[in-house]
Structure 1
């Protein structure tokens, strides 16, 4: 598998994990707007987006692809509080 395909697979799985997390834990539908790989040592990808019907409620999630796509941490915009 070439590097671009491998990266795209990681992005797709991290995006899916983020959407699933927000749906199951927060009962929210989210839109993913961008991604960025962390330095290789972290084996993570940062996934950013917002709540589907409220672009003011933004978030960034650290998805650890080396740890079964575990959501490591989430930061949110002001006024966007999470249950978990």
Structure 2
């Protein structure tokens, strides 16, 4: 295999990976926007988590009773 063929294959591989990464990025963005629109999660409140990290700040999500029971059943 010559150097030119290897470089040509490398270029094709680069563009295929680039397109794949763009598709993955936009599908993830679409998933975030769709789940926010449906109401499953509100990701915008997590964006200020680094800014509002004092002890006096509001809690983002409170644990449900089933989550609390699951945490208590774990033995140390």
Please report the TM-score for the alignment, with normalisation by the length of structure 1: 0.31
**Higher relative strand content:** 1
More helix by share: 2
Larger Rg: 2
Higher relative contact order (CA 8 A, sep 6+): 1
Q: TM-score, normalized by length of structure 2?
A: 0.34
